[in-house]
Structure 1
């Protein structure tokens, strides 16, 4: 059975083999990690590698790898991670959405807040890659969606999350269950030929527990 942990050092290199050959990537303080096995000199963990396909897209592949501290670091393998429940790291990720803003905040206890979402599919694609494995029956819980103001380049991209549910490629799908939606004033009314705004009936994810004006 895997242990749900967080990285407890500044940086931890992840290798394909326990002899520190072929570095895959580096995890940072506060990153989530699933530990499969503990050894005195290494940890075996679950991770993801990325394979480029013929069309240029990147396919995530689940695999196992190893965290092996250098002997010169004087850091024991067991000290590289800590129980996830003990994490005190607040994570803030600013997503490249080209025009507009989009950010993800994760609190130390695992609560997730989405702030804006740009005006295209880039925010939805980022979230689908970050929160893999959601489904209609098991959506990803989002504790709050915050729309800072009514310009389309801050909220129109949020509808792409809903659209992604029907994407033919599973890796690009995301199902979410927002608990609250806050916005700074009323969202701008769409034009008569726009077919409705991003929060019109039928395109959202069900009624939020709290909606403020």
Structure 2
């Protein structure tokens, strides 16, 4: 038995025992509700306390005591979101290509790329919360932020590309947005480099993840 087949069998066993659809479905719904609630509450608190605005302040400022009396709200939101999107990355890989031993090489490469970048994005977002703006040892906060945005964006690109090439429950139009939407805002953020475009990039990623979850778990 080849090493690849052994690894795939191990992943299949882990999926069967841990990554169950009902669990992941509840996890993603909880993610949307709790993460958005913490983000909105954190923004309101910062706005009232220090005049925080989307166009003048970076997202990470929500985790800085200089800009908000409750930086832990954003820290918890990041750790929570990163932790809950990790199992979704595994589920999405299985959803896109349930049997990696019976598919084309190109299909495997796209799915694996989507998984790897999604995994990196999730882990890095946990890091954003742990190494907040107030705890940015050795510049780790900036690094984690870059890896999180980059990971989620590239995961969306490959997942969207896959949805456009193959038949899935993911609508083609959503696949097109996944491939080009977040990437466009990432490029704009890099080029323009102001807080508003960082927020727009976050919204672009959320506008991918939320409809993606709904389309995958929607019963037909």
TM-score band by shorter chain is under 0.3
**Of Structure 1 and Structure 2, which has the larger fraction of its residues in strand?**
1
Answer 1 or 2: higher relative contact order, Cα 8 Å, separation at least 6.
2
Q: Which has the larger radius of gyration?
A: 1
Calculate the TM-score normalised by the size of structure 1: 0.24
Calculate the TM-score normalised by the size of structure 2: 0.23
**Of Structure 1 and Structure 2, which has the larger fraction of its residues in helix?**
2
